[in-house]
Structure 1
Amino acid sequence: MSGIVTQSLESLRGVGPKMAERLQRYGISNVEDLLFHLPLRYQDRTQVTPIGALQDGAEVVIEGDVALVSVSGGGRRRSLIVKLQDGTGTATLRFFHFSQAQKNALQQGDRLRCFGTVRRGAQQAEMIHPEYRRSIHISDNEESLTPIYPSTEGVSQGQWRKLSDQALSVLAKHPPEELLPVRENDYGLSSALRFLHRPPPEADQQALRDGRHPAQLRLALEELTAHQLSMREMRARSRERAAPVLRDSKALSQHFLKALPFEPTAAQLRVMEEITADLATEKPMLRLVQGDVGSGKTVVAAAAALIAIASGYQVAVMAPTELLAEQHRRNFAGWFSPLNISQMWLAGSVKGQKREQALAAIESGEASLVIGTHALFQDGVEFAHLGLVIVDEQHRFGVHQRLALSEKTGGAWRAHQLIMTATPIPRTLSMVAYADLDCSIIDELPPGRQPVGTVLIDNQRRQEIIERVAIACREGRQVYWVCTLIEDSDTLQAQAAESSFAELAEALDGIAVAMVHGRMKAKEKDAVMSAFKAGHYQLLVATTVIEVGVDVPNATLMIIENPERLGLAQLHQLRGRVGRGSAASHCVLLYQSPLGQQSRARLQVMRESNDGFYIAEEDLRQRGPGEVLGTRQTGLMEFRVARLPEHEHLLEEVQEIAEALQQEHPQWVQALIRRWAGDRQAFANV
């Protein structure tokens, strides 16, 4: 590896201990890291615009002679005014924050070159706090587009440019090692870096904005390859230790399936076969099961759990909320009670003696099946012989959390992992965020399930909707009314659950109305949900806490207020709470006018489709990977150059390159991961 990798930042002018500490916050610890800190966007300062041709809102360079320097106003409202003329017109430069030294340095007759955003002033074009410098040569144009770097307090754009200038000088003498196979007619690493730090004036600026310039694609390919290799390494580490071989010798899972009051779908049976094959080997299973809302993932998980229990091992089922974990507990208890399987519950709300009893049963092995929340992987929870970990709604947890749970085996082996999600993950994201997992898809709904009809209705027709709710309730159906806030807010135009509850309870005389939201205690929340499921309430006013885990077949109507505030995947999850029986079901998206064009287009996707995978793809296209995966996963997706879904066409090639590097150039793998992930690869070391 060449010297650029290890060259210290403090070898650069302007970098002392304090600046080095600030750069470290960006993951920059040497000169090569600095070269891979790439601009977010560019400004075109290569052409001077005549003052007479200035347009409101444009970012431009102007040049002219100082005609007047004066101070306007008094006290805190003082501003420095500079009049600049170039023969085609006059522009005003206005500085609200200035020093006496700055004022004295500006003299009538000085020639200035300025860059800033034009705004229409009272009499002539103005620039507020433009960047400026004295201009000696009229033809003194910038040689490249001006880069704007990702930055926060402590490092100015001017400092970034000076630092990157020096880094580019080092690059010319010590180019970084090429770690990808060289391809014909492609940018080399050094030329791509040089281009992106200082694009020439004639560069295709639209291509740069869209992320499709060949130089960007060259670096995106390398970054995605580094990420792919990092995920593969994590998978390899997860498989360093053997897992127990699990076979259903007692045929428990077959008894379970035969006792079900319905026939599993072909898709469920196919996924069960894939899981059964995984569990029968010493390689720890790492399988993601995706299935749309209501596709029957829990039945698949139960069959897997029985194989582990029949083999003499414990099973841990972890869900992100007590509400969802409680639903799993009820389902598993109903299915497993005839099989005489000991079940234990562990969540944050389990305290004192009950917690001690639960921990003792888990540690002794008395509890074959343990269901709970994140409390399962905390210190103090020890399993006697954990063989299978089932994680529901994986995107709500970090990767390290499921790995931490799979370590609590009680022996030298590693537990098999079955990951489930009802939030369909676009294939693009699966190939990147879940590259350490095998993927199974339950792509079939149980027979009799009808698609939910979805309509968009303006909130001005609210009274009509309330009347429709009354009709549904009086016909014996149940209804959800979903709000996006708990309390009223002056800053957000959204009806809160509390005010909607009061309004609906008053308007719907004789109809039992309940409310549930995330700030209620778990026991209160569970009591309300259980009562709603039992039919004691006809209308449930709720926040998005009902997104997962509630199965009420009699609920056939859902109203979602302010749906424009939620992502498509979340809306689809909410909508999946209705249509769980055989009756026709509907979802009303009650939006607030005026609705922007982009929001309307998003909501139209919900109206037109019930396909969770299509909706997830649209969510990715419109909102990006961080929003689709959830905050706990975004650390995996903070790319410097690569963008999804714009660069998804590179992913097939990325997999081929990663495979070739592992086979033919294993010595490059760690260097490539270090170059792009730096300290962020620590998650893979769990």
Structure 2
Amino acid sequence: MDIFNTPIEYLKGVGPQRAEILKKETGVFTYKDLLYYYPFRHIDKTRFYKITEVDANSPYVQILVRLKSFEIIGEKQTKRLVARAVDDTGEIELVWFKGLKWMEKILRVNQLYILFAKPSFFNGKLQMAHPELEVFSKETQEKGNLSLQPVYSSTEKLKQFSLDSKGLQKLVANLLDVVANEIKEVLPDYVLEKYKLISNKEAISNIHFPVSAHLLNRAQATLKFQELFFIQLKLLKIKHLRTQKFKGNIFVNVGEKFNYFYENLLPFELTNAQKKVLKEIRWDSQRGAQMNRLVQGDVGSGKTVVALMSMLLAIDNGFQACLMAPTEILATQHYVSISSMLQDGLVRIALLTGSTKKKDRTRILEDLKNGNLDILVGTHALIEDTVVFKQLGLAVIDEQHRFGVEQRAKLWKKNPIPPHVLVMTATPIPRTLAMSLYGDLDISVINELPVGRKPIKTIHMYEAQRLRMFGFMKQEIAKGRQVYVVYPLIQESAKLDLKNLEDGIETLSREFPLPKYRISIVHGQLKPDEKEFEMQRFVKGETQIMVATTVIEVGVNVPNASVMIIENAERFGLSQLHQLRGRVGRGSEQSFCILMSKEKLSKEGKIRLETMVRTNDGFEISEVDLQLRGPGNIEGTQQSGVLDLKLADLAQDQNILIEARKTVQEIMGNDPELLKPEHMVLRSFFNKPSAAGITLDKIS
């Protein structure tokens, strides 16, 4: 049996009870799990400070002192043990508020002690409260106490079993004694040499117990490279499997329907970015391998037209196409948008959602199976077993991060040869995150706005400027425009936020009274038909103001709406603010986004709102979002299951990721099956199911 898979209870110092709590609190089940339970920081005990060198601004420091005196003073609540200690430069006061009897027993006057704590000043004296204390003995002198000590994450429950950071430190030390000589290399030698990385054994030893600060840095660099390298190896291996093993339908013709749409129905001239993406899709669909392409495009950049023209390409080659969206609102929006662009009944199109009536559903499913339907637009209703295509050639998935892997995989099985897959997202993804989440897909970017569109002007206003904001709304409504007013609705405090929404409606109703002004109200607690009724009033221009929660983040397209007001804007994430702003600016008129906030903002809140005012570039915004929130919190990345990073940080370690991906690309380009002797070590990564985890369902 592989020693690293040994259950953790067999490690010296663990046993059944501690093993149980380790499994529950830290996810440590085996020796290997504990080996990769890295410390989150190290305490610098590499030198002794003199008393006169430290002050209240010093971090945790280590000093060598002689104990001069100690006594217990005070009564009941104020009772404490106070000691005086000196070195050859001065004096420091030590104080304990707990464990007084124990400390009184162990302290010895004139004894040399090593102290470790954060210094502070109290009543004009330099002081350390509850310092770590160690007797300075001959053994310490020989062995030395100068090291970088690891600090491990612990919990209250772990501490009840003496598994605080020090307890965990002892277990890791025991483990390294057992397994250190079994730690094998995981990267080829030439990769280690090229990037001046240390061996895997050295890296793991020094991440836990660094010999020096220099070796700690090298260990971190090596292990970060490993993490990012193996994510890329997994993704690019999946990509290779797709292109080699999975055939794709070949779209030979650019036919009658595509050309008729392009020449007669296209609502605006394509931008160069849209043309480039269409060329890439055209090339993908001719090479006999399944296409898997991600199209990133900012809100309003014209992704839907690209998707429609790709679907027409499939139809011209005798195939059907589908478009799957995460919500009914968005699916309906796509259906309406595509139907209006097609006109003249150029193709046969239908909408299938959870709300589709039984009679209509039966007819749609029959037409689909018989080939009397060209395009089916819908929600996850499309992946139900009852939905059978005659010949599905292209599946378009909108905002794919909202679908689980299994859901997407079901679409593949709708055709003997898996359909080409075109994934669209209006959530711009930072380059490093795209490499790590979608590194197995080919990526296209639409980074131009359609001709005639003006960039949205964004303004930040405080509560004190509300009357000015109302005046601006009235000006725009007088020009015949419409306005969105959006409130946050956060699940944990839905009642509180709904109250905000209701208070807001009351204020707006007073400021914009009937019959001159009419208001639509939309929020998540309305029934679907009520929501649809209110939305349609706004779409038809029967109301001038739509007060809503974030349900309108996607799926509402009203070119006449020129103002987006976001209340409590500081409570939204950057990508959500950007999505909401994208609901306006869809016509040729100048549009505006007003971010309303309270006067006092956190540092992060300020950065977010300043970023929104400064730029309309979704990719720049996504980079700032990554820096602020980290990859785990950016929409969709947690459920992707790819980014289980222990050390690497995509915001800070972009250069390492780029080098890791470049190296993997070179390896896969020269030796895709990893057959060369120097790549044997990499092949073993895929021979372990737990490490590779590559099955059809995992190919997202």
Q: TM-score, normalised by structure 2?
A: 0.85
Deviation string, structure 1 residues 513-568 (Cα, Å, up to 9, x no partner): 12222332322222222221111111111222222222111111121222222232
Residue pair 1:143, 1:200 contacting (<8 A) in 2 also: no
Aligned to 1:159: 167
Deviation string, structure 1 residues 172-226 (Cα, Å, up to 9, x no partner): 422322423331643222222222212346559xxx7xxxx33322221111110
Query: Which aligned pairs between 1:302-321 and structure 2 lie closer than 5 A?
Result: 302-321=308-327
Cα distance, 1:591 vs structure 2:
1.9
Aligned to 1:218: 222
- Worse-matched range after superposition: 620-629 or 195-204: 195-204
With over 3 angstroms needed to count, the CA separation of the structure-2 counterparts of 1:55 and 1:260, relative to structure 1, is: same
With over 3 angstroms needed to count, the CA separation of the structure-2 counterparts of 1:83 and 1:346, relative to structure 1, is: farther
Aligned to 1:684: 698
With over 3 angstroms needed to count, the CA separation of the structure-2 counterparts of 1:488 and 1:636, relative to structure 1, is: closer
1:485 to 2:489 alignment: yes
Query: Which aligned pairs between 1:394-409 and structure 2 lie closer than 5 A?
Result: 394-409=400-415
Unpaired runs of at least 5, structure 1: none
Distance in 1, Cα, partners of 2:154 & 2:683: 28
| 1:255 aligned residue (250, 254, 260) | 260
Aligned to 1:553: 559
- The amino acid of 2:698's aligned partner reads A
With over 3 angstroms needed to count, the CA separation of the structure-2 counterparts of 1:367 and 1:389, relative to structure 1, is: same
- The amino acid of 2:353's aligned partner reads A
Residue pair 2:401, 2:640 contacting (<8 A) in 1 also: no
With over 3 angstroms needed to count, the CA separation of the structure-2 counterparts of 1:397 and 1:487, relative to structure 1, is: closer
Aligned to 1:668: 681
Deviation string, structure 1 residues 72-128 (Cα, Å, up to 9, x no partner): 64xxxx797433331423332223xx799x589656759876655566668977777
Cα distance, 1:38 vs structure 2:
1.6
Residue pair 1:61, 1:114 contacting (<8 A) in 2 also: yes
With over 3 angstroms needed to count, the CA separation of the structure-2 counterparts of 1:491 and 1:103, relative to structure 1, is: farther
Look up the SS of the partner of 1:44 in the other structure.
Answer: strand
With over 3 angstroms needed to count, the CA separation of the structure-2 counterparts of 1:72 and 1:126, relative to structure 1, is: farther
Distance in 2, Cα, partners of 1:129 & 1:431: 47
With over 3 angstroms needed to count, the CA separation of the structure-2 counterparts of 1:136 and 1:366, relative to structure 1, is: farther
Aligned to 2:41: 41
With over 3 angstroms needed to count, the CA separation of the structure-2 counterparts of 1:264 and 1:553, relative to structure 1, is: same
With over 3 angstroms needed to count, the CA separation of the structure-2 counterparts of 1:493 and 1:262, relative to structure 1, is: closer
Look up the SS of the partner of 2:147 in the other structure.
Answer: coil
- The amino acid of 2:150's aligned partner reads P
1:525 to 2:531 alignment: yes
Distance in 2, Cα, partners of 1:486 & 1:432: 29
Look up the SS of the partner of 2:70 in the other structure.
Answer: strand
With over 3 angstroms needed to count, the CA separation of the structure-2 counterparts of 1:538 and 1:397, relative to structure 1, is: same
Residue pair 2:294, 2:441 contacting (<8 A) in 1 also: yes
- The amino acid of 1:257's aligned partner reads Y
- Worse-matched range after superposition: 58-67 or 306-315: 58-67
Residue pair 1:501, 1:541 contacting (<8 A) in 2 also: yes
Cα distance, 1:463 vs structure 2:
1.7
Aligned to 2:97: 94
1:575 to 2:581 alignment: yes
Distance in 1, Cα, partners of 2:494 & 2:116: 38
Q: Aligned residue pairs: how many?
A: 669
1:333 to 2:339 alignment: yes
Aligned to 1:191: 202
Cα distance, 1:17 vs structure 2:
4.0
1:182 to 2:186 alignment: no
Aligned to 1:444: 448
With over 3 angstroms needed to count, the CA separation of the structure-2 counterparts of 1:166 and 1:292, relative to structure 1, is: same
Cα distance, 1:364 vs structure 2:
5.0
Aligned to 1:435: 439
Distance in 1, Cα, partners of 2:690 & 2:75: 51
- Worse-matched range after superposition: 14-23 or 564-573: 14-23
Look up the SS of the partner of 2:433 in the other structure.
Answer: helix
1:471 to 2:475 alignment: yes
Look up the SS of the partner of 2:585 in the other structure.
Answer: coil
Query: Which aligned pairs between 1:255-274 and structure 2 lie closer than 5 A?
Result: 255-258=260-263, 259-274=265-280
Aligned to 1:536: 542
Query: Which aligned pairs between 1:28-427 and structure 2 lie closer than 5 A?
Result: 28-47=28-47, 53=54, 55=56, 58-61=59-62, 65=67, 67-68=70-71, 73=76, 81-87=80-86, 88-95=91-98, 115-116=116-117, 142-152=145-155, 153-154=157-158, 155-180=163-188, 181-183=191-193, 185-200=196-211, 202-203=213-214, 213-239=217-243, 240-248=245-253, 250-258=255-263, 259-336=265-342, 338-339=344-345, 341-350=347-356, 355=361, 358-378=364-384, 380-409=386-415, 412-427=416-431
- Worse-matched range after superposition: 250-259 or 621-630: 621-630
Aligned to 1:563: 569
- Worse-matched range after superposition: 640-649 or 292-301: 640-649
Residue pair 2:637, 2:643 contacting (<8 A) in 1 also: no
Cα distance, 1:679 vs structure 2:
8.3
Residue pair 2:242, 2:289 contacting (<8 A) in 1 also: no
Residue pair 2:49, 2:61 contacting (<8 A) in 1 also: yes
- Worse-matched range after superposition: 516-525 or 226-235: 516-525
Cα distance, 1:360 vs structure 2:
4.9
Residue pair 2:238, 2:694 contacting (<8 A) in 1 also: no
Cα distance, 1:442 vs structure 2:
1.6
Residue pair 2:92, 2:126 contacting (<8 A) in 1 also: no
Residue pair 1:486, 1:496 contacting (<8 A) in 2 also: no
Look up the SS of the partner of 2:177 in the other structure.
Answer: helix
With over 3 angstroms needed to count, the CA separation of the structure-2 counterparts of 1:519 and 1:395, relative to structure 1, is: same
Look up the SS of the partner of 1:277 in the other structure.
Answer: helix
Deviation string, structure 1 residues 313-342 (Cα, Å, up to 9, x no partner): 332211122111110011122234524533
With over 3 angstroms needed to count, the CA separation of the structure-2 counterparts of 1:231 and 1:351, relative to structure 1, is: farther
Residue pair 2:485, 2:546 contacting (<8 A) in 1 also: yes
Residue pair 1:626, 1:633 contacting (<8 A) in 2 also: no
Residue pair 1:459, 1:592 contacting (<8 A) in 2 also: yes
Distance in 2, Cα, partners of 1:617 & 1:606: 12
With over 3 angstroms needed to count, the CA separation of the structure-2 counterparts of 1:631 and 1:525, relative to structure 1, is: farther
RMSD of aligned residue pairs (Cα, Å): 3.6
Look up the SS of the partner of 1:89 in the other structure.
Answer: strand
Residue pair 2:81, 2:100 contacting (<8 A) in 1 also: no
Distance in 2, Cα, partners of 1:319 & 1:407: 18
Residue pair 1:4, 1:176 contacting (<8 A) in 2 also: no
- The amino acid of 1:162's aligned partner reads K
Distance in 1, Cα, partners of 2:202 & 2:563: 59
Distance in 2, Cα, partners of 1:125 & 1:495: 52
Cα distance, 1:596 vs structure 2:
3.4
Deviation string, structure 1 residues 640-662 (Cα, Å, up to 9, x no partner): 12111221112332123223444
- Worse-matched range after superposition: 218-227 or 505-514: 505-514
Cα distance, 1:250 vs structure 2:
4.4
With over 3 angstroms needed to count, the CA separation of the structure-2 counterparts of 1:216 and 1:58, relative to structure 1, is: closer
- The amino acid of 1:375's aligned partner reads A
Unpaired runs of at least 5, structure 2: none
With over 3 angstroms needed to count, the CA separation of the structure-2 counterparts of 1:390 and 1:428, relative to structure 1, is: same
Cα distance, 1:266 vs structure 2:
2.5
With over 3 angstroms needed to count, the CA separation of the structure-2 counterparts of 1:236 and 1:5, relative to structure 1, is: farther
- Worse-matched range after superposition: 276-285 or 364-373: 364-373
Aligned identity (percent) is: 35
Aligned to 1:460: 464
Deviation string, structure 1 residues 556-597 (Cα, Å, up to 9, x no partner): 112122222223222222112111111111111212111234
1:638 to 2:641 alignment: no
| 1:605 aligned residue (584, 606, 611) | 611
- The amino acid of 2:92's aligned partner reads G
Distance in 1, Cα, partners of 2:175 & 2:491: 52
Cα distance, 1:503 vs structure 2:
1.2
Residue pair 1:244, 1:282 contacting (<8 A) in 2 also: yes
With over 3 angstroms needed to count, the CA separation of the structure-2 counterparts of 1:442 and 1:487, relative to structure 1, is: closer
